[in-house]
Every structure is written in C-alpha cells, then in structure tokens.
Amino acid sequence: MNKRTCTALAAVLAASFALGTAGCSGGKQSAGGKDGKNPAAAHEGTAIGGTPQKGGTLTVLSNQDFTHLDPARNWVMNDMDFGTRLLYRTLVTYKATPGTQGGGLVPDLATDLGTPSADARTWTFHLKQGVKYEDGSPVTAQDVKYNVERSFSPDLPGGADYAARYLAGAEGYRGPAQGRHLDSVKTPDDRTIVFELRKPFAEFPNATVMPTFAPVPQAQDKGPQYDNRPFSSGPYKVDSYARGKKLVLVRNDHWDPGTDEVRKAYPDKLVVLMGLKANQIDDRLIASQGADASAVSWGALRPESAAKVLPDARVRERLLAESTNCTDMVQMHTGRAPFDDPKVRRAVQYALDRDAVLTASGGPAFNDLSTAYMPASLFGGKQPDTLKIPVTGDADKARQLLKEAGKPDGISTKITASAGDKGRAEAVQQSLGRAGIKVTIETVDPSAFYATIGDTENRTDMVYTGWCPDYPSGSTFLPFVFDGRFIKEKGNSGNHSLFRDDATMKRMDEIGAMTDTKAAAEAWQQLDGRILAQAPTVPVLVRRWPLVLGTNIAGAYGHTSFGGQIDYATVGLKDPAKSRD
C-alpha cells in the first residue's frame, strides 16, 4: 500500500483498535500493536445478528466435503458440530451458549447426565420419551448400543476411540457385522442403556457427547454407504447429498422441539455448497450480495483475506474469530539422537521464532502465541509464561545450548508438516536456521499426515502438529500428548514426541484418580509447566477460527467446544424472505 492509504488505514485501525498511536512512518509496521485489543476477537463470546426468525434457507459455502457424517466415523471438530447439531442426537451434548459456558453439558437423548455407580465404573442413562427418527419410529437404547458397536468395525474407520479406550471387554471386538455384540453395553429396556467400563472414569458423560453415542437403527445401516445418508434423529434430514458438490437438508417433521433444549432449528432448509474455492468464498461473503447475504462459510477465513476484512469496520462487524483451543506444537522425537538430549530440545525451544510462525499463520488477529501446552481455556483464560523466552526467539542462547550439548556446529534434521501448514513449517525452518539447526521440510497430504507421523520408526525427527482437548479437561490433553504408555510403533497418535518420563506418568495417574475436579485442574496446570521445562515439544500458537458471516445471518457464534465453528444449533436468518427459494 502506498503512504496515503497507509495513513488512512492506520487511522481507521487506530480508531477501531482503541490504540493511542499507530505509526506509519518510513514504511514500518503500520497497524495494530501486540498490546492493543485484537480487532478480530471483538465478538469473542457473543452472538452476532440478534435472534433469528424462523424459516428461509441457510447456505453454507464450503471448499471441501465432510470427512464423515456417519456418526460412528465422525471425529473432526467441524463435522461433529454439523452432525450432532443438525442430523443426529447424542446421549449428552454441549450447551448452545457462546463463550466458555458452551463447554457445559446438557442431556440430549438422555434424561440427565448419566448416573454413575459408586466407583464410576458403570454408567446408566435413561432415554427421553418421544424422540423420533425421520420416519416417525422411536429412538431406542438398542440403536445407541448398535452405533457404539459399529464404531469398532474395521469397515467404518475414522471415529473417536473413547468406546474402545474405556468399555470393558472391548479388546479384539470388531463390530456387529458377524452378529457379535458387546456385553459391556446393556439395554435392559428400550429406554435404558448401561455402560460397563474397564476402569473408573468420572468424565464419562463428556465422552457421550461424541457422535459415537448417537443412535443408528440396525435396519437402516448400510455399512460404509451410511456415510452418504445418515438416518436422522435431529431437526433436519438429508434431502439430497451429492458428495463433493451439494448437501441439502430439510426439516425432519418428526423431530419434537419439546424434547430438545439445545437445537433451535430456525431455517427451513440448509444447503451446503461444496468444492468452492476458499478465496472466492471469502470474497463472496465480504461482498455479501444477493443469496450470499444468507450464507456462512464452512472453512476459516484465508489469511490473505485478512487485508480485506480487518480494515473495514462494516465487514469486521460480521467477523467471528473464536479460539480453536488447539495448540500447534513442534514435536521432537525424544527417543533418538539428537533430540534425546534435553539440551538440544531446549535449543529448539529458544531458537524458534514464534512470531514468524504467527505471521505465516495469518498474524496476531487470527492466532494467539502459546507459552504453555494446554490452551488458555484449561488455564482459566490465560496461559502462564514460565520460560519467558522472547517471542522472536533467542538464537544466541540456542547456539550456546547446542555448544553445551556438544554440537557447536549445529545439527541437520527434518520436519514433517501437513500440506496446509507449509507456510508455518517454512517459518520454523527459517528461524531454526538462524541458530545452526538446518531443517528440511517434508510436506504430506492432510489425509495421509497422521498415518505418516504415526510411523514412529520411519518418521522424521520433528513434526508440526497440534492437539485439541475433546472436552474442557486436562485429562483430554496431557495424557494424550505425553503419556509414554500409549505410544504405538505404527499408528501412533497424540504423543508425537514419544515422550516417556516415569515421574510424569506417575503424576498423570495420580491426577486421573482425583475426584475433586478443581484440584485436578490445578494439578494438570502444574504438570504442564513441569513437562514444558523438559521441552519434549515446543508450543507455538493457538489458532482462531475466523469466519465472515453474510449480512442476513443471525444468532451466530463460534462454539468453543467445536473448535470455534458456528454453532449450527442456533444459527438462522434475520429475514428469511431474503434468502433463496
């Protein structure tokens, strides 16, 4: 931009950021400041557009297809939002509330949040009366059990593995295909379901939010094809689904709002247009003309579109940017040289220019720097900064640490990153290079990424990946990322630093057994800092999920438990008459 627009822009930004000054001299950084308020986060914890009117067609513009809508296979944040808020109900679900309160649980199919036995090894749920499928038949406890069993089927991969991790007698179970059933899930009558667990698990209701715990009637099961036409128990049913092109949802007339305290189901119809270009979606929503006024974006705003959104107050009014609560990390293979030496790992910790990665990730408006492993929501709102490493890194200190480790000439290593993280990986490469750590990048297609880095033998020394807590508890973060007992030679997940530390594991078990949730939360926070000091991974940043909404959208907020995606339970239109057909 030239000097004049720069000044004008700075003025606009200065005013809207409530900053005192925003200098624009000599072509230096023009806008914003790290201490200023983030303009993108202005709507954090609030809904945009007031209360929607009933009716109309909500359009969702997407650059991709859903990974899976089959509830047994659906384990991607956004898809879980879409599936459980629109198409199928689960035993328990998240509150439909903006902000951190959205992490709270409410009963959905069940009448309450479940009744544990004294040792929290057996959990009983009762189903509500009057919950029906799209053909009017009632939802039964057997259908929930059946879908839990389906999630074990090798033909239906991809789903959450909480059932496999916690249910008793689940070892070696391979789904209901051969008529075999799980004895640890009992259905004494049509509206009661009992889960018997392998070990005490006080947070089991949190797990029953997963689509694994949605009902699928056996008569409707079509194996892998069920993915294309899930049978609805929610407020909408599939009218047509052309994979990769278009999904149309219409009302399920048998859904009874009286049984549902979460879903509002404002629009009459939802149309998901898929396979569009991400940048064209951004442009369409920024312009918000015609039918696009009643549209929302499925994917996050592209970083390069920030320059079209942030300076414009009228567009910024329609911007959501809730945190995804996922921490991106540079994870080092602690099981072999050179990263078996904590000094080398700490050198990486010091060399890394998190600010450069942040810029590559869309800048401070769409990301928050990370100084701890668990996201801020698990620290009560703000991550502590125990190490006090400068955001741009400290290359001298890193070099010194390398010298102490006996590697004065630096090291050469490789990092694997998903294709979408290429820019971030390049920033890592560049900043570690300053301290003599020469990094080669291997990008992998997103679909093959987890399989590639899960091969502990053949993978690279470093990987760039993150972890999102499945629900707001330290127990869904630290044990998944740092417990050495869950390392698998192939198909490894979570613990990509292959970190195995006896003191840490012992402490995790102790915290896991705590019944006082507040004490447990504090204990997780302290453990976080203790692991950080050993530097198995370097936390980099927590992304936000920026979304520009059409001008006719109402009741929209980013749901904190769905990675900042719009809560599809409550979104609707200001004026249904303005939407297409």
Partner 1 sequence: MTLYLGRRLLAVAGVLVAIAAVTFTVFYVLPSDPAAAACGKSCSTDRLEAIRAHMGLDRPLWRQFADFVTGIFTGRTMGSGQYALHCAFPCLGYSYENSEAVWDLLMDRLPVSASLALGAAVLWLALGLSAGVTAALRKDSLTDRALMVGAVAAASLPVYFTSMMLIYGLIRTAGLLPYPQYVPLGDDPLHWASNLLLPWLALAVLYAAMYARQSRSSMIETMAEPYIRTARAKGLPRRTVVVKHGLRAGMTPILTLFGMDLGGLLAGAVITESIFGLPGIGRLFYGALSTGDQPVILGVTLLAAAFIVVANLAVDLLYAVVDPRVRY
Partner 2 sequence: MTTTPTPASSPAPAAVPAGSGPWQLARAELRRRTAVKVSLAVVALFLLMAAGAPLLSSLAGWSPEEFDKTAVDPYLGGRPLGPLGGISADHWLGVEPVTGRDLFARVVHGAQVSLLIALTATAIVVLAGTAAGITAGYFGGRTDAVLSRLMDLTMSFPSLIFMIAMMSVAKDVNRILLMTAVIGLFGWPGVARVVRGQTLSLRHREYVDAARVGGSGPWRILTRDILPGVAGPVIAYTTLIVPGMIATEAALSYLGVGVRPPTPSWGQMIAESVAFYDTDPMYFVIPSTCLFLTVLAFTLLGDALRDVLDPRSGRT
DSSP string, 149-167: HHTT-TTS-SS--HHHHHB
Only one of the segments 62-70, 125-133, 340-348, 350-358 lies at the binding site for partner 2 (rule: CB under 8 A); that segment is 350-358
The bridge status of strand 367-369 relative to strand 537-548 is antiparallel
Interaction partner, residue 305 (partner 1, partner 2, none; CB < 5-8 Å by kind): partner 2
Distance between CA atoms of residues 25 and 197, nearest Å: 64
Q: Please say whether the beta carbons of 460 and 413 come within 8 A.
A: yes
Residue given tokens 């630093």 in the structure block: 497
Site for partner 2 in 12-31 (CB under 8 A): 13, 27-31
Question: How many helices (H) and strands (E) would you count in the chain?
Answer: 16, 19
Is residue 446 close enough to count as binding partner 1 by CB under 8 A? yes
Q: Is the peptide bond before 98 cis (omega within 30 degrees of 0)?
A: no
Q: Which of 303, 335, 484, 529 binds partner 2 (CB under 8 A)?
A: 303
Contact 30, 24 (CB under 8 A): yes
Which of 271, 315, 329, 356: binder of partner 2 (CB under 8 A)? 356
For residue 27, the partner it binds in partner 1, partner 2, none, with Cβ less than 5 to 8 A by kind, is partner 2
Q: How far is the CB of 558 from partner 1 (least distance, A)?
A: 22
Please report which helix (H) or strand (E) contains residue 435, including its range: none
Q: Residue 242: which of partner 2, partner 1, none does it interact with, CB under 5 to 8 A by kind?
A: partner 1
How many C-beta neighbours within 10 Å does residue 291 have? 17
What are the backbone angles phi and psi of residue 540, rounded to the nearest 5°?
-115, -60
Asked if 393 contacts 351 with a C-beta cutoff of 8 angstroms, the reply is yes
244 binds partner 1 (CB under 8 A): yes
Strand order in the sheet with 122-126: 115-116, 122-126, 192-196, 185-189
User: Quick one: which segment of 101-109, 160-168, 256-264, 555-563 binds partner 1 (CB under 8 A)?
Assistant: 160-168
According to DSSP, residue 38 is labeled P
Which entry of partner 1, partner 2, none binds 490, CB below 5 to 8 A by partner kind?
A: partner 1
Stretch that binds partner 2, among 148-156, 302-310, 332-340, 559-567 (CB under 8 A): 302-310
Between residue 30 and residue 69, which ones bind partner 1 under the rule CB under 8 A? 63, 65
Structure-block tokens of residue 109: 């199919």
Token pair recorded at residue 334: 């602690």
**Chosen residue from 447, 485, 506, 533 binding partner 1 by CB under 8 A:** 447
- The first and second tokens of residue 222, run together, are 């079509």
Q: Select from 6, 113, 120, 177 the one that contacts partner 1 (CB under 8 A).
A: 177
Residues 80-119 that bind partner 2 (CB under 8 A): none
Q: How far is the CB of 458 from partner 1 (least distance, A)?
A: 11
**Is 390 a residue that touches partner 2 (CB under 8 A)?**
no
The yes or no reply on residue 410 touching partner 2 (CB under 8 A) is no
- Answer whether 378's CB lies under 8 Å from 525's CB: yes
Name residues contacting partner 2, limited to 433-472 (CB under 8 A).
441, 443
Does the footprint of partner 2 cover residue 337 (CB under 8 A)?
Answer: no
Could you tell me how many residues of this chain bind partner 1 (CB under 8 A)? 50
- Report phi then psi at 418, rounded to 5: -65, 150
How is the beta sheet containing 236-242 ordered, strand by strand?
Answer: 236-242, 246-251, 269-273, 57-61, 295-297
For the bound state, the minimum distance from the C-beta of residue 302 to partner 2, rounded and expressed in Å, comes to 6
Q: Which does 451 bind (CB under 5 to 8 A by kind): partner 2, partner 1, none?
A: partner 1
DSSP, res 83: I
CA distances to 1, 4, 30, 54, 154 from 8, in Å: 11, 6, 10, 41, 59
Residues of this chain that interact with partner 1 (CB under 8 A) are 63, 65, 73, 75-76, 153-155, 157-161, 164, 174, 176-178, 221, 223-225, 227-228, 242-245, 273-277, 280, 283-284, 419, 445-448, 450-451, 454, 488-491, 493-494
Residues of this chain that interact with partner 2 (CB under 8 A) are 1-3, 6, 13, 27-32, 279, 302-308, 310-311, 355-356, 358-360, 362-365, 419, 422-423, 426-427, 429-431, 441, 443
